[in-house]
Amino acid sequence: MILDKKIIDQHNNQLKDKHKRAFDYVSGDIAQVDEILDKLQKFQIAIPSWALGTGGTRFGRFSGAGEPGTLEQKLEDVGLLHALNRSSGAISLHIPWDIPSDAEKIKALASSLDIGFDAVNSNTFQDQAGQEHSYKFGSLHHVDPKVRQQAVDHNIEVINYGKAVGSKALTVWLADGSSFPGQLNFREAFQNTLSSLSEIYKHLPEDWKLFVEYKAFEPYFYSMTIGDWGQSLLLANKLGPKAYTLVDLGHHLPNANIEQIVSLLLMEGKLGGFHFNDSKYADDDLTAGSIKPYQLFLIFNELIDGMDVKGIDHASGLGWMIDASHNLKDPLVDLLQSVEAIKIAYAQALLVDRKALKQAQQANDIVKAQEILQDAFRTDVRPLVAEARLRSGAALNPVQLFNEGNLRSKLIEERGVNSVATGL
C-alpha cells in the first residue's frame, strides 16, 4: 500500500496548531534548534525484515492479519513506515527467510520507496529443509569441520545476496553454546568460531563490515560461545579492521552498564552498531524505550560524546537497527513507537550541555553532572521530533495516523486475514 501524501497533509493540518504551541514552548529555550532538527531529520533506523509480522513465544504464536507474505510486501511495509516518519529508510534482511531472488526487481522496488539495505543477517540457528548437516550442536563452533564448513558457506551465500541488493555489512549472530558443564571445550569452541569467522571474513568485499553479535544466554543456558562484548571484541580484533562488535541491547545479563560498554567500544573504534529493543529481564525484544528510557538516553549521550566530530547519522558508518518481536501489538505500530523512542533519546542527548558536563566532571561536582543529564532527559522533546518529521514531509503523529487512517484494515483488505509473515 502506498500512502497518499494528501492523507499525511490532512493529518498534519488537523494537528498543526497544537503542535505549534508545543514546539514554540520547548524550542524557545534551545539555542541551536535548527541544528538539532537537522540532525534528527538525517537520523535513520533500519527495520528488521523479521519483525514485520507477529512473533511468538515458545508457548505459541497468535498471528495478526494482513501481514506481509512476501519480501515485496515487507518492503512495502517498511515503505509505509518510512512515509509515516521519514526515519525508517532501510531494511535489514534475514536469509533464508527473505531471499532477494530477483535482486534487480527488489532493488527497484526499494528505491521507489526510498529504502536502502542495511546489514544482511545469516541464520545458522535453524535447520532448513534438505540441509545436509544439523546445527543442533552449533554451527561455526561445531566440533565437526563439515558442519562448520556448511555454516561458513551459508554466510558466504548471504554476503552474495547482500552484494546483489547493495548491503554493506553482514551480521552474524550465533546460537552456539552449551547447556551443561563439560559439554564443550570452551577454548576449542572459541578457536573453531574464530577460524570459521576468518573464512567468512576472507569473502567480505573491501567496503563491507562484519558485525559480530554477542548474547549472554539463550538458546543455551550454561555458556554461549560469543557470550559478551569481551568475547566479541576479542574476535573482532583478531579478525581485522572490517570486523566490529554489534550491541543488541537485550543481550546482556540484568543491569549491565550498556552505556559504558558502548563508550569503550567506540573509543576502540570497534563499535559496529546496534540492535535496539528493550527488556525488563533479558532478550525480551520489547519496544525500544518502553522499559528503560533513561538507559537509552545514556547510550545516546555516550555516542554523542564519542562521535562529536562525525555526527551520529548514517554517515558515521554505524548500523542503526531495530531487533524486536511483537507478540501483542501490531508490529507496524510497535516499530513506529520504537523509532520514536530512539529519536526521543537522541534528541534529549543532543540537549546535554557538554561543556558544563565536562567542567562538572573535572571538578568532581557530581550533583551538577547529574542535574545536567537529568535536565536534558526530563525535557519533553517530542515536539522537536515531530517538527523534524514535519520538515521532512512525514506525519506529526505517525501512530495516530496509522490508527485513524485504518491502515491495518487496508492492508488486510489487500492481503487477506490469513497472510502471515516469516520471522522470529
CB nearer Mn ion, residue 139 or residue 397: 139
CA distance 232 to 211: 9
**Please, what is the minimum distance in Å from the beta carbon of residue 15 to ligand PSV?**
35
Question: Which one of residues 67, 98, 213, 228 is an interface residue with ligand PSV (CB under 6 A)?
Answer: 213
User: Using H for helix, E for strand and C for coil, what is the string for 281-327?
Assistant: CCCCCECCCCCCHHHHHHHHHHHHHHCCCCCCCHHHCCEEEECCCCC
The residue assigned the cell 552484494 is: 163
Question: Which one of residues 98, 323, 330, 387 is an interface residue with Mn ion (CB under 5 A)?
Answer: 323
**Please, what is the minimum distance in Å from the beta carbon of residue 333 to ligand PSV?**
20
Compose the 177-196 pattern: x for residues touching ligand PSV by CB under 6 A, - for all others: --------------------
**Residues 6 or more apart from 238 whose CB is under 8 A from it?**
194
**Please, what is the minimum distance in Å from the beta carbon of residue 326 to ligand PSV?**
13
Contact 81, 47 (CB under 8 A): yes
CB nearer Mn ion, residue 76 or residue 248: 248
323 lies in the site for ligand PSV, by CB under 6 A: yes
118 lies in the site for ligand PSV, by CB under 6 A: no
CB nearer ligand PSV, residue 82 or residue 251: 251
In this structure, the strands spanning 319-322 and 243-248 are unpaired
Of Mn ion, ligand PSV, none, which one does residue 340 interact with (CB within 5 to 8 Å by kind)? none
Contact 170, 117 (CB under 8 A): no
The x, y and z cell numbers of residue 174, run together, are: 550465533
275 lies in the site for ligand PSV, by CB under 6 A: yes
259 lies in the site for Mn ion, by CB under 5 A: no
> Which is nearest to 1 in space by CA: 399, 405, 347, 378?
405
Stretch that binds Mn ion, among 73-81, 187-195, 237-245, 267-275 (CB under 5 A): 267-275
98 lies in the site for ligand PSV, by CB under 6 A: no
Q: Indicate the DSSP class of residue 49.
A: G
Of ligand PSV, Mn ion, none, which one does residue 23 interact with (CB within 5 to 8 Å by kind)? none
248 lies in the site for Mn ion, by CB under 5 A: yes
Task: Count Cβ neighbours within 10 Å for each residue of 22-56 and write b for 16 or more, e otherwise.
Answer: bbeebbeebeeeeebbebbbebbbbbbbbbbbbbe
334 lies in the site for ligand PSV, by CB under 6 A: no
Residue 117 parent element (H or E): strand 116-117
**Please, what is the minimum distance in Å from the beta carbon of residue 57 to ligand PSV?**
13
DSSP secondary structure, 242-283, as one string:
TEEEEEETTSS-TT--HHHHHHHHHHTT-EEEEEE-B-SSSS
Total residues in contact with ligand PSV, by rule CB under 6 A: 9
424 lies in the site for ligand PSV, by CB under 6 A: yes
Q: Which of residues 237-256 bind ligand PSV (CB under 6 A)?
A: 248
Stretch that binds Mn ion, among 84-92, 194-202, 296-304, 319-327 (CB under 5 A): 319-327
In this structure, the strands spanning 243-248 and 209-213 are parallel
275 lies in the site for Mn ion, by CB under 5 A: yes
Stretch that binds Mn ion, among 34-42, 79-87, 281-289, 383-391 (CB under 5 A): 281-289
CA distance 51 to 89: 15
> Which is nearest to 196 in space by CA: 218, 172, 168, 230?
172
283 lies in the site for Mn ion, by CB under 5 A: yes
Closest chain position to ligand PSV (CB): 173
CB nearer Mn ion, residue 320 or residue 377: 320
Question: Which one of residues 44, 49, 121, 397 is an interface residue with ligand PSV (CB under 6 A)?
Answer: 121
330 lies in the site for ligand PSV, by CB under 6 A: no
Stretch that binds Mn ion, among 107-115, 156-164, 223-231, 272-280 (CB under 5 A): 272-280
Residue 67's φ and ψ, nearest 5 degrees, are -75, 155
**Please, what is the minimum distance in Å from the beta carbon of residue 90 to ligand PSV?**
16
**Please, what is the minimum distance in Å from the beta carbon of residue 283 to ligand PSV?**
5
> Which is nearest to 98 in space by CA: 123, 115, 132?
123
CA distance 372 to 126: 47
In this structure, the strands spanning 223-224 and 177-178 are antiparallel
Of Mn ion, ligand PSV, none, which one does residue 263 interact with (CB within 5 to 8 Å by kind)? none
283 lies in the site for ligand PSV, by CB under 6 A: yes
User: Which positions touch Mn ion (CB under 5 A)?
Assistant: 248, 275, 283, 323
User: Which positions touch ligand PSV (CB under 6 A)?
Assistant: 121, 173, 213, 215, 248, 275, 283, 323, 424
